[in-house]
Chain A
């Protein structure tokens, strides 16, 4: 059977660049937006903002713990601080600060972690953030978003600006395939069904969304009808979409460029086990990776449609 929709998945913009550009644009009409940077503005792309609004840009040097605290103080004074660095540094080095001076008093700090996952490539595991979603989701009150392309990242940054409360938004280094042609239709706690199907649902966030689309197309050729859902809102989850997937397709695969036992997958499994148990299978990382080109790493560590297809078949085999 033919898919109802097809995606060209043309090469597009890196989500970190989409973040940096969106931030500089939104700041034109919102003077409350300020930025804190720990010597990575050329990489996180907050340099676009810095060039236009130098008085609202705070260089903290290589000091992530202090950066989170400075952001919290700015939020306490009514600013909307974007605190940004490589995800591995801002989340891990700043974690106790994110917990005690951001989450606990529920301050309006927006954390954007770039260069997430293994797709940063040659820099290697010390720079690769594979635990960030787990840590961010563990913080009460945090909204955690992991968009898959330029438009969805722009939408997520706009949501972060417009929604009071702490946010973590996950961005990546490589250019991402285009999935969306509009910034409309995204919300905190939302999801996007990209393809409909009846045999299995493929859920993903970030770069595994396009791989899940490719997997669905391949499965379709084998006569397996797969639904694809972009779970960009990792916290809060779109529980209704999860329950619907479990009820209507009876099997769910969750794929992510993150530790497999601590990310979106286990969060979806919690909802499935509570609301509508069904066979599930998971695609993700199990250990620290290594240096290599992003493509080599994504191949070697299974962040590809082939892993999603294999997982779908594992889940389908357990379907009654």
Chain B
């Protein structure tokens, strides 16, 4: 598996991941392209650079963990895990088909190397914090990264978990908000505004790191800053663009949960060439 801190290389990987996402969701004829494309650099920067993990030794106790709490963005996670060597690349286009390991939402029963099954929004941060406490009790250095949707944080459990994380100073867990500003029914500001987002996390006791979620170098600095902050847990608010990389999907609520047509896929792949 490739591990690199070179920004250009990580950007090239990101483009390839985007091609997988568009292709596999088109083949599946259903799925969530917008929120998968917005999280590409976040996951690429973690899996191919920052996180300590080893596809050849997936249950390595000291590894870093990853939880995609916004489980509907499964295509980005599947593409990244496949390119890391955890799962077969050639199966990606069987996404959502009966018997395929690439289920509609991440499922540990089908992919045991996943750190969590997700899909019901609001639950991943609690799970991550439980893992963080377990790691801390056993003196393991592994960190847990947990990607949340901006719509997802409308769920009350996220804030129960945030209180817990700050109160128990669970600094080995890093929540990341994929702040693409669109949810299923439209723009977050029109469905249930989450602003002032930084102030919310700060008032819950978090160290807030705001970053352009498509800027690899900025993400690298964010992971550094989170790791260096030990007095309080850190949250990374990643400002992203829903549908990033495909012009007609960008900032378009339609592509939260609609698969591209064949024609749209061809257009998208041309843009991602």
Interface residues of A (CB under 8 A from B): 34, 55-56, 58, 60-61, 63, 65-66, 68-79, 81, 96-97, 100-101, 104-106
Tell yes or no: B222 within 8 A of A by CB: no
CB closest residue in chain B, given A66: B160
Which residues from chain B contact A68 at a C-beta distance below 8 Å? 126
- Give B153-184 interface residues, CB cut-off 8 Å to A: 156-157, 160-161, 163-164, 167-168
Which residues from chain A contact B58 at a C-beta distance below 8 Å? none
Q: How far is B123's CA from A70's CA once the two chains are assembled, in angstroms?
A: 9
Q: How far is B130's CA from A69's CA once the two chains are assembled, in angstroms?
A: 7
Tell yes or no: B216 within 8 A of A by CB: no
Tell yes or no: B119 within 8 A of A by CB: yes
Most buried by A among B115, B129, B133: B133
Tell yes or no: B132 within 8 A of A by CB: yes
Report whether B123 and A100 are in contact in the complex, using a CB–CB cutoff of 8 Å.
Answer: yes
Report whether A97 and B134 are in contact in the complex, using a CB–CB cutoff of 8 Å.
Answer: no
Tell yes or no: B127 within 8 A of A by CB: yes
Q: How many residues of B contact A (CB 8 A)?
A: 31
Nearest-neighbour CB distance to chain A for B136, whole angstroms, equals 10
Most buried by B among A61, A70, A81, A97: A70
Q: How far is B135's CA from A34's CA once the two chains are assembled, in angstroms?
A: 13
Q: A100-B120, A105-B108 are in contact. Are A65 and B126 (CB under 8 A)?
A: yes
Tell yes or no: B128 within 8 A of A by CB: yes
Report whether B127 and A76 are in contact in the complex, using a CB–CB cutoff of 8 Å.
Answer: yes
Q: How far is B129's CA from A61's CA once the two chains are assembled, in angstroms?
A: 14
Report whether B164 and A97 are in contact in the complex, using a CB–CB cutoff of 8 Å.
Answer: no
Q: How far is B85's CA from A32's CA once the two chains are assembled, in angstroms?
A: 32
Nearest-neighbour CB distance to chain A for B113, whole angstroms, equals 13
Q: A69-B126, A105-B117 are in contact. Are A60 and B135 (CB under 8 A)?
A: no
- Give B73-130 interface residues, CB cut-off 8 Å to A: 107-109, 115-117, 119-120, 122-123, 125-130
Nearest-neighbour CB distance to chain B for A245, whole angstroms, equals 37
List of 3 A-B pairs having minimum Cβ-Cβ separation, nearest first: A73-B130, A69-B126, A77-B134
Report whether B133 and A97 are in contact in the complex, using a CB–CB cutoff of 8 Å.
Answer: no
Report whether A71 and B157 are in contact in the complex, using a CB–CB cutoff of 8 Å.
Answer: no
A76 touches which one: B115, B119, B123 (CB < 8 A)?
B115
A65 touches which one: B115, B135, B157, B163 (CB < 8 A)?
B157
Q: How far is B136's CA from A56's CA once the two chains are assembled, in angstroms?
A: 11
Q: A73-B128, A73-B129, A101-B117 are in contact. Are A79 and B134 (CB under 8 A)?
A: yes
A34 touches which one: B115, B122, B137 (CB < 8 A)?
B137
Report whether A69 and B137 are in contact in the complex, using a CB–CB cutoff of 8 Å.
Answer: no
Which residues from chain A contact B117 at a C-beta distance below 8 Å? 100-101, 104-105
Q: How far is B123's CA from A72's CA once the two chains are assembled, in angstroms?
A: 10
Q: A58-B168, A101-B117 are in contact. Are A63 and B130 (CB under 8 A)?
A: no
CB closest residue in chain A, given B117: A105
Nearest-neighbour CB distance to chain A for B173, whole angstroms, equals 9
Q: A97-B123, A101-B123, A105-B116 are in contact. Are A73 and B133 (CB under 8 A)?
A: yes
CB closest residue in chain B, given A109: B130
Report whether B168 and A97 are in contact in the complex, using a CB–CB cutoff of 8 Å.
Answer: no
Nearest-neighbour CB distance to chain B for A144, whole angstroms, equals 22
Which residues from chain B contact A72 at a C-beta distance below 8 Å? 126-127, 130
Report whether B133 and A66 are in contact in the complex, using a CB–CB cutoff of 8 Å.
Answer: no
Report whether A79 and B160 are in contact in the complex, using a CB–CB cutoff of 8 Å.
Answer: no
Would you give 10 A-B contacts (Cβ < 8 Å), ordered by A?
A58-B168, A61-B164, A63-B157, A65-B122, A65-B123, A65-B126, A73-B128, A73-B129, A74-B134, A76-B134
Which residues from chain B contact A74 at a C-beta distance below 8 Å? 130-131, 133-134
Nearest-neighbour CB distance to chain B for A156, whole angstroms, equals 24
Which residues from chain A contact B161 at a C-beta distance below 8 Å? 66, 69-70
B157 touches which one: A66, A73, A105 (CB < 8 A)?
A66
Q: How far is B125's CA from A68's CA once the two chains are assembled, in angstroms?
A: 12
Q: How far is B5's CA from A254's CA once the two chains are assembled, in angstroms?
A: 66
Most buried by A among B109, B115, B130, B157: B130
Report whether A71 and B130 are in contact in the complex, using a CB–CB cutoff of 8 Å.
Answer: yes
Tell yes or no: B138 within 8 A of A by CB: yes
CB closest residue in chain B, given A96: B120
Q: How far is B163's CA from A73's CA once the two chains are assembled, in angstroms?
A: 16
